[in-house]
Amino acid sequence: MTIVATDYDAGDNGTVVYEIDAYGNPPAAPNGEYLFKINSNGLIKTNIGNSLDREKIAVYYLPIVAKDKGVEQRRSTATATIKIIDINDQKPQFIDVGYLLISKTDF
């Protein structure tokens, strides 16, 4: 996913870079590492490989800061909504261990 902010100023005042807003409570792993990362061009990627599981958490809200490179830096914030798609990672399971079959002739 790529997020885009526009700044119509010229030069560094119009050059936008992105970061995750640490004060916006970004989703993190138990060890404190952010689950997502964003590069200076706005490309958001997972920070932990393929270990996101839709059965556990289906939607993440990632607070993003866009700021220019001006001397008096201007910034804006937004929230990226990341929906995790389901993959076929679960096998079918029988709930009951045994089943009893009663035919109509037994009545």
Mean pLDDT of 66-93: 89
Containing 46, the helix (H) or strand (E) segment is: strand 44-46
Give the distance from CA 107 to its chain's centroid: 57
Mean pLDDT of 70-76: 92
The one-letter amino acid at 27: P
pLDDT in tens, 74-85: 999 999 999 988
66 in Cβ contact with 24 (< 8 Å): no
Note the pTM of the prediction, 2 decimals.
0.75
DSSP string, 74-99: -EEEEEEEEEPPP-S------SSS--
Distances (CA, A) of 80 to 3, 23, 27, 33, 67: 8, 15, 12, 18, 16
Mean pLDDT of 43-52: 82
Closest CA to 43 of 62, 56, 59, 58: 62
Q: How confident is the model at residue 59 (pLDDT cuts 50, 70, 90)?
A: very high
Asked whether residue 50 carries a pLDDT value surpassing 70, the answer given is no
Q: How confident is the model at residue 106 (pLDDT cuts 50, 70, 90)?
A: low
In total, the chain counts a number of residues equal to 107
Asked whether residue 44 carries a pLDDT value surpassing 90, the answer given is yes
